[in-house]
Structure 1
Amino acid sequence: MRKVVILSGAGISAESGIKTFRDSDGLWENHDVTEVASPEGWRRNRELVLEFYNQRRRQLHEVQPNDAHKLLAELEKYFEVQIITQNIDDLHERAGSSNVLHLHGELFKSCSCNNKRLIYEQKGDIKIGDKAEDGAQLRPFIVWFGEDVPMMTEAMKITKEADIFLVIGTSLQVYPAAGLLQDIKDDCLLIVINPDDSMSYGKRAVVIKETATKGMKLLFDKLVNMA
């Protein structure tokens, strides 16, 4: 069975109603990203950071996977499928995808601010005073700017095994995730779904200049025929 590896980003979740990481003015929900997505921001104002992610978590309860998520899950009937996502939501899992690697953490998890290996399910709010088993304050299980991306090594390994590598919902502006394209095999088929026609992915890429949902509807039967 051929292996399809999917790199997904904010664009696929945006179609379910989740705001993308940065608006055109460089802000996220009216906050400078360094206020709410960096170790420095956490040290300055823990309450602000916790409330910011509490709001994101509440919103995640209210949205549903879209057709793009569902079609990616459907591919598992025809291929060995691995999703590498830059998104912190669980929409891939809710759509039925069984192999999802989250590069930047997960909104429905928390961890000790002193030990990121102490991880907990977190469907509700995190409050000041909520402690991990080591006595440290709980924080969102999110990779912030300036922090290591521990899942990159595994993501690189998965990427090197791909027969088909599909990029969807990301303009590949965020590193180190964008560097995964350098790890695909020479004979790997590279497909990109992105409505932004200002991006260049090299001559080898098959580019579908559509949104995630429309692009997947156009691509799905073609992929199945390759199985």
Structure 2
Amino acid sequence: MRITVLSGAGISAESGVPTFRDDKNGLWSRFDPYELSSVQGWQRNPERVWGWYLWRHYLVGTVEPNAGHRAVAAWQDHAEVSVVTQNVDDLHERAGSSPVHHLHGSLFDFRCATCDLPYTGQLPQMTEPALEVEPPGCDCGGLIRPDIVWFGEALPEGPWQRAVEATTTADVLVVVGTSGLVYPAAGLPELAVARGTVVVEVNPEPTPLSSSATVTVRESASTALPTLMQRLPALLN
């Protein structure tokens, strides 16, 4: 069996990773998310944007994969599993999943904003949040930025193509913890539905996908996923 998992912010929130709009302590609470996650915001104040993402990088490093992440990794013992995620953390990888296709980039990858070369140098240490931090420089003279898809930027071609392939070849698509509102990622379940693929939505709240999913499970990821494969035959009947 081929299983593809499309995961969103809900699964990581259970590990203590705040969603983007919640992840603003007092330092950044007065800034619109667009100011912290757009090319225009970066151009206006790269120190502020770098400080925001560097803090999120270290924040994610302090949390652990939850039962939902671990369950998805455990499915690999019984099926061919691909993970497509809208999340920028590394919790799927740390739980043991592979491959993991990051549609929106990763807090653990960095590149030059000018020449696009990956950055593998040292990061500034951060034990407390700081409103502005000077980004490292590249040999070309550019500044190092997080390799994250910002507002208005296209998804990375490679991960997107692999996500489409994983969706179109899946026997079952499990959509967990995503609102179904952010495109083009939200188009993947629609593609699966159009192909007649079994689509299982795991989300405590209804989403635009709910009416067309084969099965909806109104539970959190950490509750539903550890037993989902055992329950699936009964759910589909």
Alignment TM-score, normalising by the size of structure 1: 0.89
Q: What are the equivalent positions in structure 2 for 1:38-187 lying under 5 Å apart?
A: 38-116=38-116, 118-121=117-120, 124-125=123-124, 128=134, 130-150=136-156, 151-184=159-192, 186-187=195-196
Partner of 1:211: 220
Distance 2:122 2:102 in 1: 17
Q: SS in structure 1 opposite 2:186?
A: helix
Distance 2:59 2:42 in 1: 21
Partner of 2:12: 13
Residues 11-67 of structure 1 deviation map (CA, whole Å, 9 limit, x = unaligned): 0000010001224x9xx9623111110001001111110000111011112100000
Partner of 2:210: 201
Partner of 2:129: none
Give the aligned length.
222
Where does structure 2 lack aligned partners over 5 or more consecutive residues? 126-132
Inter-CA distance 198–204: structure 2 relative to 1 (3 Å threshold): closer
CA drift at 1:177: 0.4
CA drift at 1:121: 4.4
Inter-CA distance 63–204: structure 2 relative to 1 (3 Å threshold): closer
Q: Is the 8 A contact 2:88 2:105 kept in 1?
A: yes
Deviating more after overlay: 37-46 vs 212-221: 212-221
Residues 128-168 of structure 1 deviation map (CA, whole Å, 9 limit, x = unaligned): 35123433110011000010102323321221111100000
Deviating more after overlay: 166-175 vs 210-219: 210-219
Deviating more after overlay: 176-185 vs 45-54: 176-185
Letter paired with 1:214: T
Distance 1:133 1:92 in 2: 33
Distance 1:162 1:200 in 2: 18
Distance 2:170 2:111 in 1: 32
Q: Is the 8 A contact 1:193 1:212 kept in 2?
A: yes
> Percent sequence identity over matched residues?
39
Moved over 6 A (4+): none
Where does structure 1 lack aligned partners over 5 or more consecutive residues? none
Inter-CA distance 218–197: structure 2 relative to 1 (3 Å threshold): farther
1:221 aligns with 2:230: yes
Q: Is the 8 A contact 1:168 1:212 kept in 2?
A: yes
Letter paired with 1:147: E
Q: SS in structure 1 opposite 2:119?
A: strand
Letter paired with 1:219: L
